[in-house]
Structure 1
Amino acid sequence: MGNPSSSEAITNPDYSYTFEGWMGHDEKSIGNMQWGAFEPKRWEEGDIDIKITHSGICGSDLHTLRSGWGPTNYPCVVGHEIVGKAVRVGKEVKHIKVGDRVGVGAQSDSCRNRTGKCSDCSAGRENYCSNEGRCDTYNGVFLNGGKSYGGYATYNRVPAHFAIQIPDGVDSAAAAPMMCGGITVYSPLKQNGCGPGKRVAILGVGGLGAFGVLFAKAMGADNVTGVSRKVVKRDDVLKLGADQYIATDDEPDWAQRYASSFDLIVCTISSPKMPLRDYLGLLDTGGRFVQVGAPEEALPQILAFDLIPKNRSIGGSCIGSPGQIEEMLKFAAEQEIRPWIEERPMSQANKAVVDMEMGFARYRYTLVNEPEQ
């Protein structure tokens, strides 16, 4: 596949392919991942194996590679925006067949199959499962004890419930970052009534924020505003479909000028230094602020009176369930949503994650496995 090879590749005993990937080994792994073999979870008949063609680069990958959100269980293969072809399908799987184009997001299992499963899994909110059994797509542990490895790799093994068919009309390179980046903003927009009659601001127009602008506009919001620090992104954000743009570093009176202007704000910013109180002031009466960016440090402090006088509320949102990811992909196909994607060779993953860390992406990178020779 044009990737580094390993003389110690671990071969599936029943199939002639190997599980290899870019592994982080310590907190200095950004730009220093090493190619090698890994052992997937023990096969179960509810699983599928995916031959990976595309894997998006997400900010979560960087946080995990450097143990920013807590100690990482090294070695770790990151990547939870996976698209590829199903090459092995368990006997219990009904909705996927060999050869189907499928995707996997940030979560690979939950307690949904257990007796006494949690209320969230019972209600189809598997992304909020907090019981034993929840497993992230990388740096997690499945119920059978197997470690989860992500998409900077040749193959991925996952319980089929968390694999979603990619509809025609959505390119694989674009579908990959939708599996986490896309659903992370689609979910709070949908759940909070984004559509006609709503004025929506997207705070932080990077990889997540660009999706936020695209989805909010496609949902029919009356006004979609992109908010970022520098004026340099203005033209890009307007081309993405925003009605207006606010550059907070270059408009000194932005907080006063746009006070009480929005019904819904989705914040993708992952900096603990953001002007949170000023952002809350942008909400009109009854407005809601939803945080999806996850800083490695505490959020700034707010006061009760930032919320009380205008009946404002603040909350959070975590990825989406398999059902909601399927809904999002169908919506993207129907609305012909075209995110701005730059494809990068899987063999150059180290350079790509460094570029991501430096903020060069406009607006998402997708790693592409080279065809086998």
Structure 2
Amino acid sequence: MTTDYKFEGWMGLDPSSAEGNMVWKEYEPKPWEETDVDIKVTHSGICGSDLHMLRSGWGPAPYPVVVGHEIVGIAVRVGSQAEGNIKVGDLVGVGAQSDSCLGRDGHACGACSSRAENYCPGGVQTYGSRHRNGGPSYGGHALYHRCPSHFVIKIPAGLAPEAAAPMLCGGVTVYSPLKHFGAGPGKRVGVVGVGGLGHFAVLFAKALGADEVVGISRKADKRKDALDLGCDEYIATDDDEDWATKNARRFDLIIGTASSTKMPFNQYLNLLDLDGTLVQVGAPEGPIPLQIMAVGPARRRVASSAIGSPKEIYEMFQLAADKQIKPWIEKRPMKDANAAMVDMEAGKPRFRYVLVN
């Protein structure tokens, strides 16, 4: 079957593409399968991962790449074997994962069996990867996107597409560990880094009913933003040399969203109470120090978390719709993607950019 639309998007050809040098090109998506959905992209969130990939920050990128894995749009073609009761015309979204084993070889891995597909050893990323049929995966800074239907999520009524887009990676990356580690009533939650990821952590921790949510960052200039988001208090570590001592054993859970290799990681650990957990979701482009004696005195745990499963994404969407959660976003035209990438690297958004077709 031929289509009357073309797959075109912003393509990175080398590491300089992260500096505002992506080029608009036509490309061939993965070969069509009857389990697929084609999406006319209306909104595509910019994630820090886009920049890491474009500049080969986490390792050599498989150029050419089209980044963007916070994709929202209208289903325009739905395969005869598609899952999820998706129909042409539905508003749908795709996050950072496009596929997993799903038991296609007759035996599902433990992750897929437990509906934690984001931890499948055979997982396929939405961009910079290869689909199971061998075709390249291209992201959503484009006009159209093709994705296996298992990873296409219907967006519930009451959730605006521009709000849903950045939740598909930035939102679920913090929602998943908040939910898994019990950020609800009776819990005290610290959020390191009040930015693209961190502001979602504040919004979702409050929505899940945590007793106390505290923003933690270096500079005092984010205090007002943190309090406006719903933080009960804000800690500016550069402004108080005794911040770690004053807040020792204050939290049950800390979500670490900073991605600097110079963060005071061991001091963050000392903010945890007995059996507390620090979940690091920010991904630095290098090692961070960890002293085991910062863990032992209170039986603390250090954990990490990777994006979220389709089930978690839908749960997050429904919570956002029910609680009327509104992320802080700035819409930018798709044609200005290069300028938006440069501004993203400079830390200008408050707190997420969403490209709009």
Would the aligned equivalents of 2:37 and 2:78 in 1 still touch at CA under 8 Å? yes
Alpha-carbon deviation of 1:340?
0.6
In structure 2, the partner of 1:344 is 332
Cα distance between partner residues in 2 of 1:206 and 1:130: 30
Aligned partner letter, 2:39: I
The one-letter code sitting in structure 1 at the alignment partner of 2:268 is Y
CA distance in 2, matches of 1:217, 1:117: 35
Instruction: Specify which of 71, 78, 94 is matched with residue 104 of structure 1.
Output: 94
CA shift for structure 1 position 299: 1.6
1:48 aligns with 2:31: no
Give the 5 Å matches for 1:142-161. Answer: 142-161=131-150
Q: Which digits, 9 at most, give the CA deviation of each residue in 1:172-201, with x for residues without a partner?
A: 111000000000000000001111100000
- Number of the residue aligned with 1:5: none
What is the alpha-carbon distance in structure 2 between the residues aligned to residue 122 and residue 198 of structure 1?
Answer: 30
Partner Cα separation in structure 1 for residue 293 and residue 257 of structure 2: 23
Moved over 3 A (4+): none
Q: Distance in 2 between matches of 1:309 and 1:340?
A: 38
Q: Is the 8 A contact 2:11 2:22 kept in 1?
A: yes
**What aligned pairs does 1:116-265 form with structure 2 within 5 A after superposition?**
116-131=107-122, 134-265=123-254
**2:278 is aligned with 1:315:** no
Unaligned 5+ runs, structure 2? none
SS at the partner of 1:197?
coil
Mapped to 2, the partners of 1:236 and 1:76 lie a distance apart of: 34
Identity of aligned residues (%): 61
Structure 1 residue runs without a partner (length 5+): 1-12
How far does residue 15 in structure 1 lie from its aligned partner after superposition? 1.3
Q: Deviations over 1:124-155 (max 9, x none)?
A: 11000113xx2100001001000000010000
Report the equivalent of 2:255.
266
What is the Cα-based RMSD across aligned positions, in Å?
0.8
SS of the equivalent of 1:195 reads coil
How far does residue 168 in structure 1 lie from its aligned partner after superposition?
1.1
SS in 1 for 2:268: helix
Quote the Cα distance in structure 1 between the aligned partners of 2:100 and 2:7.
23
Length, aligned pairs only: 354
- 1: CA distance between counterparts of 2:157 and 2:228? 25
**Alignment partner of 1:292 is 2:269:** no
1:304 positional shift: 2.0
Cα displacement string for residues 192-248 of structure 1 (whole angstroms, at most 9, x for unaligned residues): 111110000010111000000000011111100011111001001100000000111
Please state whether the residue corresponding to 2:224 is helix, strand or coil. Answer: helix
2:346 pairs with one of 358, 363, 373: 358
| SS across alignment from 2:245 | helix
**Corresponding residue for residue 265 of structure 2:** 276
Q: Which amino acid aligns with 1:100?
A: D
TM-score w.r.t. structure 2 length? 0.98
TM-score for the superposition, normalised by structure 1:
0.94
Distance 1:112 1:357 in 2: 36
- For residue 191 of structure 1, what is the amino acid of its counterpart? H
* Cα separation, 2, equivalents of 1:39 and 1:331: 36
Does 1:76 find its partner at 2:55? no
CA distance in 1, matches of 2:182, 2:107: 32
Q: Greater CA deviation, 32-41 or 116-125?
A: 116-125
Q: CA deviation at 1:113?
A: 4.0
Shift of 1:281: 0.5
| Whole-angstrom CA distance in 1 between matches of 2:267 and 2:344 | 28
Give CA-to-partner distance per residue, 1:310-346, whole Å, 9 cap, x none. 1111010001100110010001000110111100000
